[in-house]
């Protein structure tokens, strides 16, 4: 299991506005290109996104399904990367003071090769991936919403 955290200098609602935008998914998720909604209204339970997965020279198609969504604090996903299997990815957005958020990502394999080959080396890779992914999320959120503005859409 790989767990990592990141301070994002925006409110949980501002972070959620990016997490809830299916067109932005590929901007912060490492190894994903060209995300698009496939079924349902992202990020509602059961909604999914499709995208291209790129791991080194290998390219394939991926799909991520929302398994739990509690705006603006919790988003749990199941990411299916074809032959690599699927993983549970949980993002928790906690208020940190009045204007910031602590974002925690927790990922572990569920099915397929990812589950059967899971070990400390895979966890080390995931830690590196999460470091990059959370940094990218912070960059997208902080550039998208200046400190003095509210989110572009509100959480329902």
> What is the per-residue pLDDT across 92-124, written as a single tens digit (0 to 9) for each?
999 999 999 999 999 888 888 766 676 677 777
- If pLDDT is split at 50, 70 and 90, which confidence band does 153 have? low
Strand partners, 96: 100
Domains observed in the chain: 2-29+68-144 (3.30.530.20)
Report the distance separating Cα 96 and Cα 98, nearest Å: 6
- Which two structure tokens, joined as six digits, stand for 48? 């999914």
Peptide bond into 31 cis (omega under 30): no
**Half-sphere exposure at residue 89, Cβ-oriented, CA atoms within 13 angstroms:** 21
pTM for this structure?
A: 0.84
């Amino acid at each position: 299991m790989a767990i990592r955290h990141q301070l994002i200098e925006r409110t949980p609602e501002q972070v959620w506005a990016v997490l809830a935008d299916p067109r932005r998914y590929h901007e912060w998720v490492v190894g994903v290109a060209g995300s698009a909604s496939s079924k349902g209204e992202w990020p509602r339970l059961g909604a999914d996104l499709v995208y291209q997965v790129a791991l080194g020279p290998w390219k394939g198609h991926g799909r991520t399904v929302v398994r739990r969504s509690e705006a603006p604090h919790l988003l749990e996903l199941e990411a299916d990367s074809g032959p690599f299997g699927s993983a549970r990815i949980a993002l928790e957005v906690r208020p940190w003071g009045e204007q910031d958020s602590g974002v925690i990502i927790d990922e572990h394999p569920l099915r397929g090769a990812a589950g059967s080959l899971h070990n400390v080396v895979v966890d080390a890779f995931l830690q590196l991936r999460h470091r990059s992914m959370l940094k990218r999320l912070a960059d997208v959120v902080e550039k998208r919403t200046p400190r003095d503005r509210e989110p572009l859409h509100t959480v329902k």
